[in-house]
Amino acid sequence: MTEVVTVELGARSYPIVIGAGLLAEAGRRIAELRPGARCAIVTDDNVEAAHGAALRAGMTAAGVDHVTLTISPGEASKSFATYERVVGGILDARLERNDLVIAFGGGVVGDLAGFAAATVRRGMDFVQIPTSLLAQVDSSVGGKTGINAAQGKNLVGAFHQPVLVLADTDVLRTLPAREFRAGYAEIVKYGLIDRPDFFSWLERNRHEIFAFGPALVEAIATSCRAKAAIVAADETERGARALLNLGHTFAHALEGATGYDGARLVHGEAVAIGLVLAHEFANRLNLCDADAAGRVRDHLGAAGLPVAIADIPGPTPDADTLQRFIAQDKKVKRGRLTFILTKGVGKSYIADDIPPHEVLAFLRGKTAA
């Protein structure tokens, strides 16, 4: 079964193709999309070992000239140093502005390769071939690209849409179970934003999704449709697109406070904790009832995800450190804190001017020994 979701952006619209066996078709699809274009495949060591030969074989069979640039896996590669190396590799290969960058990996590779594509020669087109569940339902769609800075996550970047997304569900079978679970947190997020029926469907179908049944393609396609609709309405996050950050203000702070150490916390795990914290904080502010927060916590916990700050291995991040990272969040406007909060499952909204002392008091309660 193959599903196609279109991100509607006028002349810059592009398809997200979802299904099994798409990696073998990538070369043909790219040759049809950009006849004669040369490609720089940006990937990481793990994806290269598992799937690199298959992608390159298809590219060669389709007559697509290509080079491969490999980076180290993990969040630490979303750095200025790695960005400079990837840009240098693209330029050394003498790729021209009308050639293509291929982001072949998870969210780190997609963000980094997309940012390189956005900036080399003032903008090259790129194709997303996401290999993690998280990337297939979130980071590969919508054109957010970037790298991290010492001051926080994703603070340097650009909006740069891909021209094609190929989400092959077969490659997910090689993911470590932890990474698959982490991606599932982003699927859950879409139900919690504004699709309560989808969240209920996930509660009923989680086991089939994790067993790679037909529900997996449906879950990915529904997530992509949800994101595509929001991106089409607000491409550069001036308004409603901020809803996609439900749980992420807390999540990014947790990642920063743990030094982006993937051994302790990967992005999807941080999002899972962040989704629970967003509902619990909303409950503290009397915006939603405790049952909603409990339902979110129970579902994510049943999927094997961490649901509390105390679930993070190692020293518990302290509240003041988390608050400092939150103050650097991209949604801060003139020093005022903006959170995505909720009035219940599927009832999220943008909350401006949240009092910092309320956030700090909440975090102190959650980080107390």
Q: What is residue 192's three-state secondary structure?
A: helix
CA–CA dist 225, 359 (Å, integer): 32
The residues that are catalytic are 122, 144, 186, 227, 237, 241, 245, 248, 252, 267
| Cross-strand bridge partners of residue 44 | 71
CA–CA dist 29, 27 (Å, integer): 6
Tell me, what DSSP letter sits at residue 106? S
CA–CA dist 107, 136 (Å, integer): 9
Residue that has been written with the tokens 């992608």 in this structure: 55
CA–CA dist 9, 24 (Å, integer): 28
Torsion of CA 92, 103, 84, 321, to 10 degrees: -170
Q: Is there a contact between 202 and 208 (Cβ–Cβ < 8 Å)?
A: no
Residues 6+ apart with CB under 8 A from 335: 327
List the one residue out of 185, 131, 133 whose CA is nearest residue 303: 185
CA–CA dist 238, 245 (Å, integer): 13
